[in-house]
Amino acid sequence: MSNEYSHSVILREDRCIGCTSCLKVCPTEAIRVRDGKAKIISDRCIDCGECIRICPNHAKSAITDDLNMMKKFKYNIAIPSLTIYGQFPSNISISQILTSIKRIGFDEVVEDTIGADISIFLIKEYLLKKPGMEFPLINSSCPAIIRLIQIRFPDLIPNIITIETPVEITARIAKTEVAKRKGIDIKDIGVFFITPCTARVTSIRNPLGITESYVNGAISIKDIYGEIVRNLGDNNNLIKGISTRESILWPIAGGQASALGIENYLAVDGIHDVIKVLEEVELGKLEDIDFIECSACTGGCVGGPLVIQNSFIAKNRLMKHAKKVDISKYTKEDLDRFIKMYEDGFIRLTEKIEPKSVMRLDKDLSKSIHKMELVTEILKNLPGLDCGICGSPTCRAFAEDIVKGENKKAVCMIKTMNGFKSKNL
């Protein structure tokens, strides 16, 4: 695997008019406007997709994989995000959607239910009760949140639950089972996730907590939606769905925490609200909470930047589907098997998540402190409006860019205009 970090969110400079809309929504201040064009600071970007949503000129977009990638493998498995069931009218069954996906050219379609149910069961019956855990536990299922913690809240890394994401668990189980059942080399099996999420694309290419993902590609729901629709209609030989009530509600904000059946939890969605809660956790104010479910997207995964349907409509449809399926049922023997898979490292984060010190002013601590003092002095002479006209998201970011030598043409327009007015009064 290449050591080069690959982002899914990209900027199309030809479409950018330097309007600064994206500056205000980026949670890690990863965007600047220089010479009339937005620039993405790669080290800070967590691929949350907020800039894609806000850009009026569609200058931000996502790089995902396409169906041609299947040609690289002898056997191809599709794992559709559970979010996909909410993208179609509720009279279209889960079985119809799964069958339509298979008809596109996949050899097999495996529901993400497998990973979601295992995650729920393990967290509820094992990890919440395991000695030595750092509370509150923070879910590990949202890749944008994990990157956010790595960059902005590194002290909270120990609070992240060390279980793999549902799609990774599903991929690992599906890939190994197909290899045994079909006698195919695991390297010849391609697993493709149909994703609502830009951060998920990045997490597959640059995984955190594991050395390599078992998922080979990520296809945007937006890109494959038309193909799925074209293959609907023939209701013969439909795939029987195995979704459970708990798993179908997983993509909805609060669905994970609710499935755990615990009362002492927080479910927060929307990355800016997540930041506010994580700030409280960092200050030690929420140690009495057992579990925090964090979703970068408003509404949960149903609000992802790569979906077709409005998140409120998708949520309604998922809730209708949930009423039609059974609750998950696992035995003590199942739990013992899941625990072994976890402890053996098969469905667990086995690699340490290292903090990324991109928010520091300098790698050298003494130099960083000196630069912080310079930032404070510069801030005294700035208006504090955080208008973004200068091309930096806030006055502090403007001062930091000057101190770090990243903006040699720095001009505060408000300060300049005020000075111009006072001279002409």
Secondary structure of 32-66 in the HEC alphabet? Answer: EEECCEEEECCCCCCCCCHHHHHCCCCCEEECCCC
The tokens describing 117, both together, are 């149910």
Interatomic CA distance for residues 117 and 248, integer angstroms: 10
What local confidence, expressed as pLDDT, does residue 88 receive?
Answer: 97
Distance CA 110, CA 95 (A): 12
d(C-alpha 379, C-alpha 99), whole Å: 59
pLDDT in tens, 80-134: 999 999 999 999 999 999 999 999 999 999 999 999 999 999 999 999 999 989 9
User: What's the pLDDT tens digit per position in 23-71?
Assistant: 999 999 999 999 999 999 999 999 999 999 999 999 999 999 999 999 9
Q: What is residue 2's predicted lDDT score, i.e. its pLDDT?
A: 44
Q: What pLDDT sits at residue 1?
A: 40
The answer to whether 16 and 37 have CB atoms below 8 angstroms apart is: yes
Could you read off the pLDDT of 149-181 as tens digits, one per residue?
999 999 999 999 999 999 999 999 999 999 999
How far apart are alpha carbons 125 and 141 in whole angstroms?
A: 18
Mean pLDDT of 6-16: 94
What per-residue confidence (pLDDT) applies to 410? 79
> Given a cut of 80, is residue 15 above it in pLDDT?
yes
Provide the pairing of β-strand 31-34 with 37-40: antiparallel
Token pair listed for 256: 């994970």
* Residue entry with tokens 């991929």: 171
User: In angstroms, rounded to a whole number, what is the distance separating the alpha carbons of residues 234 and 100?
Assistant: 9
State the DSSP string of 128-181.
GGSTTPPSSEE-S--HHHHHHHHHH-GGGGGGB--BPPHHHHHHHHHHHHHHHH
Check residue 414 and give its pLDDT.
Answer: 80
pLDDT at residue 358, as a whole number: 84
Tell me the helix, strand and coil percentages in the chain, rounded to 5: 45, 10, 45
In 3D space, the residue among 233, 154, 175, 165 whose CA is nearest the CA of residue 203 turns out to be 165
Find, among 299, 301, 307, 255, the residue nearest to 273 by Cα.
Answer: 299
Contact 190, 175 (CB under 8 A): no
**Could you read off the pLDDT of 258-276 as tens digits, one per residue?**
899 888 999 999 999 999 9
| Alpha-carbon gap, residue 311 to 323, rounded angstroms | 19
Comparing C-alpha atoms, which of 139, 223, 196 is closest to residue 315? 196
CA-closest candidate to residue 20, choices 57, 75, 73: 57
Q: What is the CA radius of gyration of the chain?
A: 23
Task: Give the tens place of pLDDT for each residue, 366-410.
Answer: 999 999 999 999 999 999 999 999 999 999 999 999 999 988 887
Residue 10's H or E segment, with its range, is: strand 9-11
Q: What percent of the chain has pLDDT over 70?
A: 97
Strand partners, 34: 37
Q: Is 384 left (phi over 0), alpha (psi -120 to 50) or beta?
A: left
